[in-house]
Structure 1
Amino acid sequence: MQLERGVRTVKLKDLPEPKPRPSTEGMTRITGRGTSMLQSKPLINIVNVVASATIDQRLDLKDVQKKFPELEWNPDLFPGAVFRLKSPKTATLLFSTGKMVCTGAKSEKMARNAVKTVVQKLRKGK
């Protein structure tokens, strides 16, 4: 396999080895059978939890929008309405089918609390 570079052709095997990025410096590579793996364990940081829920009843999004003017809803662009909470800071998509999708939570507990808060607000109507 060859790559075109300007006027001359460079073979892939002749390309220089890429320099390690700062995040991979100090990690040892194990090579075997054409693959390489890092020895260190990955550092996993959960930054966004997405949760889906259903309230098993239909929602009249026009009525919901009247009660919650801050609700973002343009049915010509997207069928779901966006219900944003300041605490916990999340956005929950509401659909007329009663289905909900909560995004922006930092944990499962935060997502559950956000969905519960949205449902409570919908029940109260304020």
Structure 2
Amino acid sequence: MTLQELSLLLTSVLASVAGQFFLKSGALKLGKVTFSNLIGHIIGITSTPELLIGLTCYALGAIAYILLLTRVHLSIVGPAIALSYVFSVLIGYFVFQEPIPISRIAGLGFIIAGVLLVVSNK
């Protein structure tokens, strides 16, 4: 992967992770969805800035991903996007104080190792 391709990959991953962060922040503002408040929550989605920012971040991540797919094989890019899982867990831990059990840490290690194997040029 060239430096430009790696930059597109990281842009896609980071934009998607930013989208997840903002969607979580907005979802916390909305509160728990039940059948009785479903319509209010759907309307709330369109008026909650964090949710709109999150959706915009996802769109930017998708654009970067599409641009990357014009340059790199899907068999490389698809698995490499799994890095977003690693960053999502870290944001969950550091920002939202979500616990990370040891089994999840091991899983993240496998994801990182797998991505490194997939994107290596050797």
Structure with more of its chain in strand, by fraction: 1
User: So what's the TM-score if we normalise by structure 2?
Assistant: 0.25
Q: TM-score, structure 1 length as denominator?
A: 0.24
Q: Which has the higher helix share?
A: 2
Bigger Cα Rg:
1
